[in-house]
Amino acid sequence: MAADREAPPGRAAGEGGELHAAPPFFTWRTIYAIVLGALALQVVLYAALTAIYR
């Protein structure tokens, strides 16, 4: 019952490639690194802001 609808176009069941397809130019690993790197960079910037304007 869980899959009680047909797979939509472009999402046929068992298309393993679709589940792992990465966008053009970057791998998923690179994209995750960008997101987490941006978080780390922001934490450093905000910590500096806190220290400067204490």
Partner 1 sequence: MSPLDWLVLFGTLGAIVAYGVWKTRHANDMASYLHGGYSDRWYTIGLSVMATQASAITFLSTPGQAYVDGMRFLQFYFGLPLAMVALSIAFIPRFYGLHVFTAYEFLEGRFDRKTRQLAAFLFLVQRGLSAGITIYAPAIVLSRVLGWSLNLTCVSIGALVILYTVAGGTRAVSQTQKHQMVVMLGGMVVAFVVVVMRLPPGLSFRRAVGVAGVLGKMNVVDFSLGLGSRYTFWSGMTGGFFLAMSYFGTDQSQVQRYLSGKSITESRLGLLFNGLLKIPMQFLILFVGVMVFVFHQFNPSPLFFNDATVAAVRSSAAAGEWHALEGRQRSAFASKQQAIEGWRAALDRQDEPAVQASAARLRAAEAATQGVRDEARRLIRRVLPHAETNDTDYIFIGFVMANLPRGLVGLLLAVILCAAMSSTASELTALGGTSVVDFYKRSFRPAASDRHYMVVAKLLTAAWGVLAVLFAAFASMLDNLIQAVNILGSLFYGAILGLFLVAFFVKRVRATPVFLAALLSEAIVIAAWLTTSIGFLWFNVIGCALVLALSLALDAVMPRRPALPAV
Query: Applying CB under 8 A, which residues contact partner 1?
Result: 1-11, 13, 18-23, 28, 31-32, 34-36, 38-39, 42-43, 46-47, 49-50, 52-54
What is the nearest approach in angstroms of partner 1 to the Cβ of residue 25? 12
What is the nearest approach in angstroms of partner 1 to the Cβ of residue 10? 6
Question: What are the DSSP calls for 4-26, one per residue?
Answer: -SPPPTT--TT-HHHHHPPPTTS
- Return the exposure string of 20-40: e unless at least 16 CB atoms fall within 10 Å of the residue's CB, then b: eeeeeeeeeeeeeeeeeeeee
What is the nearest approach in angstroms of partner 1 to the Cβ of residue 30? 11
